[in-house]
Structure 1
Amino acid sequence: MTTFDDRERAFENMFANDQELQFRIQARRNRLLGEWAAVKMGLTPEETDAYAKAVVQADFEEAGDEDVIRKLVGDMTSAGIDIDEAGVRAALDEQAVIARRMFIEAQ
Structure 2
Amino acid sequence: MTTFDKREQGFEAKFVHDEEFMFKATARSNKLLGLWAAGQLGLSGDAAASYATTLVTDHLESRAIADVVDEVSGDLAAKGIAREQVALKLQECLHQALAQLEVDKQ
Matches within 5 A, 1:21-100: 21-60=21-60, 62=62, 64-77=64-77, 80-100=78-98
Conserved? CA contact 1:58–1:71, under 8 Å: no
Work out the CA distance in 2 between the residues paired with 1:60 and 1:32: 15
Conserved? CA contact 2:26–2:63, under 8 Å: no
Question: 1:63/1:99 Cα in 2 relative to 1: closer, same or farther (>3 Å)?
Answer: closer
Any unmatched runs of 5+ in structure 2?
A: none
Conserved? CA contact 2:33–2:93, under 8 Å: yes
**Identity over aligned residues, as a percent?**
35
Highest relative contact order (Cα 8 Å, sep 6+), 1 or 2? 2
Letter in 2 for 1:72: V
Q: CA deviation at 1:54?
A: 1.2
Q: Secondary structure at the match of 1:43?
A: coil
What per-residue deviation string (whole Å, max 9, x for no partner) do you get for residues 54-107 of structure 1? 111232464521111111011112xx3111110100101110111011011112
Letter in 2 for 1:43: L
Q: TM-score under structure 2 normalisation?
A: 0.91
Query: What RMSD in Å do the two structures reach over aligned CA positions?
Result: 1.4
